[in-house]
Structure 1
Amino acid sequence: MTTSAGITCLLACVAFVNAGILLEHAPECPEHYGVQAYAHPELCDQFFLCTNGTLTVETCENGLLFDGKGAVHNHCNYHWAVDCGHRKADCEYHVLGSYSSPGCEFQFGIYPDSEECSTSYVKCAFGIPEQEPCTPGLVYDHRTHGCNWPDLLQPFCNPEAVIGFKCPTKVPANTQSAKFWPFPRFPVPGDCHRLITCVEGQPRLITCEEGKVFDDQNLTCEDPELVPHCGHA
């Protein structure tokens, strides 16, 4: 946490930079060991970086802003995830020009790879787009810039088409699936790591936690030694 003395020091640094004075003559960092990053009091795309007492003014890459929590690149975060408050964030000069790559609005960003419901998305780093898959059973949600359950994106997405399963309207009371009502479970044929559960009549594909396998008899995820036919899956 920045001390009051540290804040005064960094504000003084702003004055030095704005006055065109060499940064090497600016006040010292609040802390002299380790790496600390501090928000610029005026600009959201810049920040102060102290590395073992050496102070530098850093600028976030195109499409990124500073919030003190970012881990996308050099302490910065995606612009849509940052609350700049009173700090200036003029995104117009961040927009890529003629050197932009197809699918990348900014050098750094996450974007849909299709106008339709999709199980993957495009992740841009340094202007290079890479297609990234969602976890099986999930689809890209432009509202969160991440992957989500397809039933939460209706009618844009059809959960039955994504999962390849239609939930029954009734489940016989004497079946194992009924024991999990109102979220009945069903096995995925030939899959030792996943199951299907129905939420309000729509299917969701669930993956067992790491180190577990799916037991298609009791419809739960178990230790591999308890499920012989999946023990080496």
Structure 2
Amino acid sequence: MLLNTVLLALVACAAARTQVRQQLVEEYPSYPAITYCEEDYGLQLYPNPASCHSFYKCANGTLTEEVCENGLLFDGHGAVHNHCNYHWGVNCEGRAFELAPIARGICEYSFGIYSNGPCEKYYTKCVYGEPIDEPCTPGLAYDDRTHSCNWPDLLEYCNPEEVVGFKCPDYLDSKDPAAKFLPFPRFPSGDCGRYIVCVEGHPRLVGCGDYTVFSSDTLTCQDPDYVPSCANYFKK
């Protein structure tokens, strides 16, 4: 008798889950409703069909509803904080959301990335409403359009010469070593790890990478052993 009662309760519970799932699927056909974890192990994330602000997380079979922090939304591709991403980088695909600014200084939202003005060499990252200044890679300036650092010659109201600290020559003699790299002549930057490339008359500061340094003699990146003046660059 007790066994039958338990079985009936389990059937009723499963039926209720199915009904809730079906109602949500009909209302938000692009996303299945999640009312239980179908897998017992690992981590699975699912969009909340009713809201872009939250998602369902299954961790080793345990289901929880997680809410993104202010300024963040969920689409399954974010990694800024708790699997959520900056709101401007999320495609909610019809799921409801409403952004509520906190209006605290430069931090419009608790989580975000903000510019301090045109042609700035750094940007401000807000974490829980606290601003943190982050420098761009040398030679780059913050681009509001891409929410990242970019070549200064690609930005409006930006002087690449001021950012890079170099002015490309208007004319190059054919005997100048830089001329062999035309139409993108290159020049030493004063930093062993970087050099300057002129692109349509604008300077860009480029890194050698791969543990190589720039040789002022060959205007190429080489192993530090072959560039005596930069032999200790990576030993600092």
1:55 aligns with 2:66: no
1:176-187 to structure 2, matched below 5 A, reads 176-187=177-188
| TM score, norm. by length of structure 1 | 0.84
1:129 aligns with 2:138: no
Q: Shift in Å at residue 27 of structure 1?
A: 4.3
1:12 aligns with 2:21: yes
Q: Shift in Å at residue 101 of structure 1?
A: 3.4
Count residues with an aligned counterpart: 208
Q: Shift in Å at residue 164 of structure 1?
A: 1.3
Aligned-residue CA RMSD (Å): 2.0
Question: Where do 5+ consecutive residues of structure 2 fail to align?
Answer: 1-16, 25-33
Question: What do the CA deviations read for 1:54-107 (whole angstroms, capped 9, x no partner)?
Answer: 00011100000001010000000000000111111211xx321xxx53210000
Q: Shift in Å at residue 13 of structure 1?
A: 9.7
SS of structure 1 residue aligned to 2:229: helix
Paired-residue identity, % = 54
- Out of 105, 110, 114, the residue aligned to residue 107 of structure 1 is 110
CA contact (8 A) 1:214 1:222 kept: yes
Q: After the TM superposition, which segments of 4 or more aligned residues of structure 1 sit over 3 Å from their partners?
A: none
Q: Shift in Å at residue 28 of structure 1?
A: 2.7
Q: Quick one: distance in 1 between partners of 2:68 and 2:140? A: 31
Question: Where do 5+ consecutive residues of structure 1 fail to align?
Answer: 1-7, 16-25
1:41-52 to structure 2, matched below 5 A, reads 41-52=49-60
CA contact (8 A) 1:101 1:129 kept: no
SS of structure 1 residue aligned to 2:187: strand
CA contact (8 A) 1:118 1:140 kept: yes
Q: Quick one: distance in 2 between partners of 1:13 and 1:212? A: 60
Q: What residue is the counterpart of 1:95 in the other structure?
A: 101
CA contact (8 A) 1:149 1:204 kept: yes
Pair 14,224 (structure 1): closer, same or farther in 2 beyond 3 Å: farther
Task: Tell me which amino acid in the other structure corresponds to 1:206.
Answer: V
Question: What do the CA deviations read for 1:29-58 (whole angstroms, capped 9, x no partner)?
Answer: 122111111111121111000100100011
Q: What residue is the counterpart of 2:148 in the other structure?
A: 146
Q: Quick one: distance in 2 between partners of 1:40 and 1:106? A: 22
Q: What residue is the counterpart of 1:70 in the other structure?
A: 78
Pair 220,111 (structure 1): closer, same or farther in 2 beyond 3 Å: same
**Rg: which structure is higher?**
2
Pair 39,174 (structure 1): closer, same or farther in 2 beyond 3 Å: same
